[in-house]
Homo-oligomer: A and B are copies of this chain.
């Protein structure tokens, strides 16, 4: 895959990523207008680099071509939606699923079922229609939804990723990581109980 092929490959993915961001912003705006609350803390997005696409294809024993990238990778475009609470995540996801022109390809709920290291997030692969001069194509975008607490934990873990994670004298690194995940979840729960209690009493 040379630079020109990579640029040609990612153009529709970039369009879909922006399309998805706009869809989510419209939903968030609607949410705010009705409930008086902003559901989204912030949004991040990224297009996989040429190096990263080629690396992933290689690890899966596929050819490092634009064609194989198109056929087998579904996270070339990714968008991450950091919400204030679980209810925001659930409402946005439900609304996305109701959009008739989208196709939900796959859903992985690491919130209901966290990964062993403590990772929590909701992953949805959505295919979005893109219109070319004389055909329509469905392009996948990976949407990750998480609360600020889940993102806080992921950012601490990101900090560790630069180092080689291994056990230190007297410290079980992985257990430590998971323990932090649990504490963060607890803090978030305590604050939300507080929020709900204040709400009820209003």
| In-complex Cβ contact of A27 among B95, B131, B171, B173 (8 A) | B131
> Which residues of chain A from 28 to 57 have any CB-CB distance to chain B below 8 Å in the complex?
29-31, 33-34, 36-37, 41-42, 44, 49-51
* Beta-carbon nearest neighbor of A183 in chain B: B187
> Which residues of chain A from 143 to 202 have any CB-CB distance to chain B below 8 Å in the complex?
148-149, 151-152, 155-156, 158-160, 162-166, 168, 171, 173, 176-177, 180, 183-184, 186-188, 190-192, 194-195, 197-199, 201-202
Interface band, chain A? 35 or more
Q: DSSP majority for the A interface?
A: helix
A154 to chain B, nearest CB (A): 9
A179 to chain B, nearest CB (A): 8
The interface stretch among A18-26, A65-73, A103-111, A119-127 is A18-26
A100 to chain B, nearest CB (A): 7
Cross-chain contact B26 with A191 (CB below 8 angstroms): no
> Which residues of chain A from 58 to 98 have any CB-CB distance to chain B below 8 Å in the complex?
84-85, 91, 95, 98
Q: Is A112 an interface residue (CB 8 A)?
A: no
Cross-chain contact B22 with A198 (CB below 8 angstroms): no
Cross-chain contact A130 with B191 (CB below 8 angstroms): no
Cross-chain contact A12 with B41 (CB below 8 angstroms): no
* Beta-carbon nearest neighbor of A102 in chain B: B131
The 6 closest A-B CB pairs, nearest first, are A163-B198, A152-B152, A156-B191, A148-B155, A99-B131, A30-B132
Other than the given A15-B22, A23-B131, A34-B133, 11 more pairs (CB < 8 A) read: A3-B49, A3-B50, A11-B29, A19-B22, A30-B133, A84-B158, A98-B131, A100-B136, A156-B191, A164-B198, A168-B194
